[in-house]
Amino acid sequence: MDSLSLFELNNLVRSVLEQTLDGEYWLEAELSEARLATNGHFYVEFIQKDASGRNLLAKARGTMWARTYSLVAPLFERATGEHLRAGMKVRVQVTVEFHELYGYSLNILNIDPSYTLGDMAKRRREILAQLEADGILEDNQQLPLPSLLKRIAVISSSSAAGYGDFCNQLDHNDYGLFFDVRLFPAVMQGANVEESVMAALAAIVDEAERWDCVVIIRGGGATSDLSDFDSYPLAAAVAQMPIPVIVGIGHERDETVLDFVAHTRVKTPTAAAAFLIDHGAQELARLEEQQRRITQGVALLCERQQRRLEQLAVHLSGAPRQRLLSEGHRVDLLQNRLRQSAKFQVESSKLKVQGLAARLAALDPALQLRRGFSLTYTSDGQLIRSAADLHPGDRLTTRLADGSVTSEVI
């Protein structure tokens, strides 16, 4: 029986493929690898998983030659705001190739950015749907915003220009408002965003009674970096924060899952600073308006009493001088009392505002922990609300006032 050399067999395979698969095909797949070589060629590995997402059904190598990449990649990035990267789902136009030495591969001719945009939006919708199903989507949004926002816990990169702009705007506000700001540094782009920001949130929770709100800010940069904030664990952590969270991430056009779970969403770090300043200015204006009304009321009452005194003077022109002096003295006393009353009203209003802040602080979960209560979470950070949510073998973390305990359900 005649035999073929390996080259002859591969050459035969190549000939058959060229005769049967000589057209261009649109392929939908996930990128498990994506690498731009120094020569400008872009190498990828396509994969397809089963419905569970755990098992591979197929994979293939793909190449986008440098000339094609220089034309196609910028259009894709401009449309999606994303770089081609591992984990991304794409729709690409390919031709099938087979080389005697390098084997089977796909030559990439074009990319459909609308398919990737749809997948990104789908992923975001799935995260939001899961948050809603878990009953925590609007938890942070329902927290009352303190009337005074002075003590600000900030999560950002210490070297970020956005953080510098934020602090500068607070320090030089037009109303003379003072803000107590502390940075809880975190990585705001790259693979460690989720872990780093969640660690900063946990540190704030440990002393939540010290803060009026949390501000998460990240300045401009590549829109693709913002996909790191589309994370269920991170969104769940923000949604369940015991104090209001203000998010200002990216540019005017950008949007992440955190925007939908935070108490207040603003577009940029400077917009976050403007929100805090406006909030303080409104409270200051309210107190000044209250003081103005009290002062006007006192002045009006004094004016009325003065007119009354003048009328009495006319009617009592024949009365003893002592009677007139007595009436004048009584009016002076009344004026003094009214002025004291106005001052008391202003001070009382300020004390009420401080009392409201103290009452809100007393409701802080950290204080409840110190009173003997505890919070128990699943391994993926979800708060346990019912025993029905537990199953044998689940690993739990219970937060106490002075630490945490890991346990397993039996």
Binning pLDDT at 50, 70 and 90, where does residue 313 land?
Answer: confident
- Structural domain including 349 reads 282-360
Residue 109: CA count within 13 A, CB half-sphere: 10
- What pLDDT, in 10s, does the model give residues 35-61? 999 999 999 999 998 887 778 899 999
Task: Let me know whether 140 and 261 are in one domain.
Answer: yes
Both 37 and 67 in one domain: the answer is yes
* pLDDT digit string, tens, across residues 380-391: 878 888 888 888
Q: What are 39's two structure tokens? A: 């020569």
Residue 354, pLDDT > 80, answer no
Residues 6+ apart with CB under 8 A from 60: 29, 45, 46, 104, 105, 106
169 domain-assigned: yes
Note the pLDDT of residue 254: 64
Averaged pLDDT of the chain: 87
d(CA 327, CA 330) in angstroms, rounded, equals 5
pTM value is 0.57
Both 251 and 296 in one domain: the answer is no
Give me the torsion for CA of 70, 72, 75, 79, rounded to 10°: -140
Q: Do 213 and 183 share a structural domain?
A: yes
Are residues 146 and 238 located together in one domain of the fold? Answer: yes
- Does 175 share its domain with 247? yes
Helix H, strand E, coil C: the string for 229-287 is HCCHHHHHHHHCCCCCEEEEECCCCCCCCHHHHCCEEECCHHHHHHHHHHHHHHHHHHH
User: Is the confidence at residue 331, as pLDDT, over 90?
Assistant: no
Residues 211 and 256 in one domain: yes
